[in-house]
């Protein structure tokens, strides 16, 4: 972390309203992306899943070290017009015709098809545009990674084609003249911390893709493992072991044909550790024996802890300046609940975590807030002001 605390204290001296900001360690993120890309085997490409954070400054930072981008909406795809030399793929359920037309017209690397109907619709649009299109079928595997925060495969979800339904799907899709099955997409989990499990998952993907290529007489050139590599929000001292993962990955990827492009589309793992959310404490109190600190901000800026019912990792930045000719409220040695400014009891960022001291006027600095944070939040609820965006 760069001198975040010092920067906050300097800005507090100049503030005219309660402090609330996102701070991004741009240099740290760039170095991280560079190291990740360098550690991957030669036939594996690193894409950025921009749903994690589509901030233009971060895209500009990451584009130097990723081979491509994954977009899950037309709006995201439009933002990638600034990077014409990068490979682009599109994902997501319920794609609109306009999204598919843009992807086909811009001749992106791959469309991840979520269903038989979506494949038929891609073929129909491609026919009207007079272009043959390569697609990667998104497969909901029968068995996927078991221990992850969220799972999108190995169970019923809205994502992909069930592995058991692939034979029937291929019968239909292979009759569509304007699409060609050029690969498979296997995004299955979110925030997995088990490197060995992720290696087993990658091995399963390679083996299944090799089997299907032979079985269905395909000539594929693309296998996308998705993302899903996590960060340790709950500070269990068991983060994802990237060094082990990168060391063992070649034993899996070397078994794939050389013509295949193997892709990891990382989002959270690329951006998450390099964003911070800072919010000034506006009030502290105890209510029915429970300690609360209310901040200028909340889940309309940082929705993830409410969505996952977790305590977001934080620290207290102590601010000594006190502008009021009044006593300064504080709490000491309490298990603190940190809440926001919204008129709902669900506006909770931290749930009963130990805190040695917290005062009105201090800053709560939330770590690991670079991904699935600002852009997934309900900004307009109560029409509160937005946080500043600060790039370090």
Two tokens at 284?
Answer: 């502290």
The residue with greater pLDDT, 153 or 362, is 362
289 pLDDT band (50/70/90 cuts)? very high
Q: Is 303 part of a structural domain of the chain?
A: yes
Q: Is 153 part of a structural domain of the chain?
A: yes
Q: Are residues 251 and 277 in the same domain?
A: no
CA angle 16-21-25, nearest 5°?
Answer: 130
* Sign of the Cα pseudo-torsion (179, 182, 186, 190, in order): negative
Q: Is 75 part of a structural domain of the chain?
A: no
Q: Are residues 233 and 301 in the same domain?
A: no
Q: Is 128 part of a structural domain of the chain?
A: yes
Q: How many domains does the chain have?
A: 2
Q: Are residues 152 and 246 in the same domain?
A: yes
Is-contact 57 391, C-beta < 8 A? yes
Q: Is 317 part of a structural domain of the chain?
A: yes
Please give the DSSP secondary-structure letter assigned to residue 125. H
Q: Is 306 part of a structural domain of the chain?
A: yes
Mean pLDDT of 305-314: 95
Q: Are residues 106 and 225 in the same domain?
A: yes
Q: What is the pLDDT of residues 247-258, one digit of tens each?
A: 999 999 999 999
Q: What is the pLDDT of residues 32-68, one digit of tens each?
A: 999 999 999 999 999 999 999 999 999 999 999 999 9
Q: From 386, 375, 354, select the one nearest 279 (Cα to Cα).
A: 386
3-state SS class at 24: strand
Residue where a domain terminates, one of 233, 266, 299: 266
Q: Tokens 């900001």 identify what position? A: 21
Is-contact 61 29, C-beta < 8 A? yes
Q: Are residues 225 and 314 in the same domain?
A: no
Q: Tokens 């931290």 identify what position? A: 350
Two tokens at 331?
Answer: 């709490």
Q: Is 83 part of a structural domain of the chain?
A: no
Q: Are residues 328 and 217 in the same domain?
A: no
147 pLDDT band (50/70/90 cuts)? low
Is-contact 135 89, C-beta < 8 A? no
Residue 46's alpha-carbon distances to 38, 120, 148, in angstroms, are 10, 29, 21
158 pLDDT band (50/70/90 cuts)? confident
pLDDT, mean over the chain: 94
Task: Write phi, then psi, for 77 (nearest 5 degrees).
Answer: -60, -40
Beta strands at 179-185 and 222-224: parallel, antiparallel or unpaired: parallel
Is-contact 192 148, C-beta < 8 A? yes
Q: Are residues 106 and 249 in the same domain?
A: yes
Q: What is the pLDDT of residues 10-35, one digit of tens each?
A: 888 778 789 999 999 999 999 999 99
Q: Are residues 207 and 347 in the same domain?
A: no
Two tokens at 211?
Answer: 């089997």
- Given a cut of 70, is residue 149 above it in pLDDT? no
CA distance 33 to 268: 12
Residue where a domain terminates, one of 222, 238, 266: 266
Which residues lie across from 133 on neighbouring strands?
179
Which residues lie across from 336 on neighbouring strands?
291, 353
Q: What is the pLDDT of residues 314-360, one digit of tens each?
A: 999 999 999 999 999 999 999 999 999 999 999 999 999 999 999 99
Mean pLDDT of 263-280: 97
Question: Which sequence positions are flagged as catalytic?
Answer: 343
Q: Are residues 191 and 147 in the same domain?
A: yes
Q: Is 73 part of a structural domain of the chain?
A: no
Q: Are residues 136 and 204 in the same domain?
A: yes
| Long-range contacts from 78-84, C-beta under 8 angstroms, 24+ separation | 78/102, 79/50, 79/54, 80/50, 82/56, 83/59
Residue where a domain terminates, one of 235, 266, 297: 266
Give the domain CATH number at 303: 2.40.37.10
Helix (H) or strand (E) holding 31: helix 26-39
Torsion of CA 307, 308, 310, 311, to 10 degrees: -50
For 369, the domain range is 1-23+273-391
Q: Considering the chain, what percentage of its residues have pLDDT values greater than 70?
A: 97
Q: What is the pLDDT, as a whole number, of residue 190?
A: 85
Q: Are residues 358 and 217 in the same domain?
A: no
CA distance 142 to 156: 10
Helix (H) or strand (E) holding 355: strand 348-359
- Given a cut of 60, is residue 2 above it in pLDDT? no
Q: Are residues 179 and 251 in the same domain?
A: yes
Give the domain CATH number at 194: 3.20.20.10
């Amino acid at each position: 972390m760069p001198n975040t605390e010092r920067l906050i204290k300097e800005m507090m001296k100049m503030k005219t309203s309660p402090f609330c900001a996102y701070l991004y360690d741009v240099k740290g993120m760039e170095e991280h992306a560079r190291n990740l890309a360098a550690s991957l085997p030669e036939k594996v490409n690193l894409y950025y899943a921009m749903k994690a954070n589509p901030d233009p400054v971060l895209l500009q930072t990451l584009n130097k070290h990723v081979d491509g981008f994954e977009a899950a909406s037309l709006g995201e795809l439009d933002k990638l017009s600034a990077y014409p030399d990068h490979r682009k793929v599109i994902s997501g359920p319920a794609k609109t015709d306009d999204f598919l037309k843009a992807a086909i017209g811009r001749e992106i690397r791959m469309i991840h098809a979520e269903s038989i109907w979506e494949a038929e619709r891609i073929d129909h649009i491609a026919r009207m545009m007079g272009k043959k299109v390569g697609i990667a079928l998104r497969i909901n595997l029968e068995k996927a990674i078991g221990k992850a925060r969220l799972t999108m495969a190995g169970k019923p979800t809205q994502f992909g084609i069930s592995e058991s339904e692939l034979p029937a799907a291929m019968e239909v899709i292979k009759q569509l003249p304007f699409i060609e099955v050029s690969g498979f997409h296997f995004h299955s989990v979110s925030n997995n911390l088990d490197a060995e499990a992720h290696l087993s998952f990658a091995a399963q993907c390679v083996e299944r893709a090799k089997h299907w290529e032979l079985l269905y007489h395909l000539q594929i050139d693309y296998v996308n493992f998705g993302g899903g590599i996590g960060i340790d929000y709950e500070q269990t001292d068991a983060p994802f072991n990237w060094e082990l993962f990168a060391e063992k990955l070649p034993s899996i990827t070397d078994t794939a044909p050389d013509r295949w492009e193997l892709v990891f589309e990382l989002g959270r793992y690329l951006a998450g550790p390099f964003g911070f959310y800072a919010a000034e404490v506006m009030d502290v109190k105890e209510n029915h024996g429970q300690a609360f600190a209310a901040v200028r901000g909340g889940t309309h800026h940082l929705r993830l802890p409410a969505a996952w019912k977790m305590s977001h990792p934080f620290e207290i930045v102590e601010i000594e300046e006190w502008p009021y000719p009044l006593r300064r409220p504080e709490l000491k040695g309490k298990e603190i609940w940190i809440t926001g400014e919204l008129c709902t009891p669900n506006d909770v960022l931290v749930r009963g975590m130990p805190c040695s001291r917290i005062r009105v006027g201090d800053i709560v600095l939330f770590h690991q807030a670079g991904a699935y944070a600002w852009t997934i939040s309900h900004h307009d609820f109560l029409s509160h002001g937005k946080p500043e965006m600060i790039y370090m």
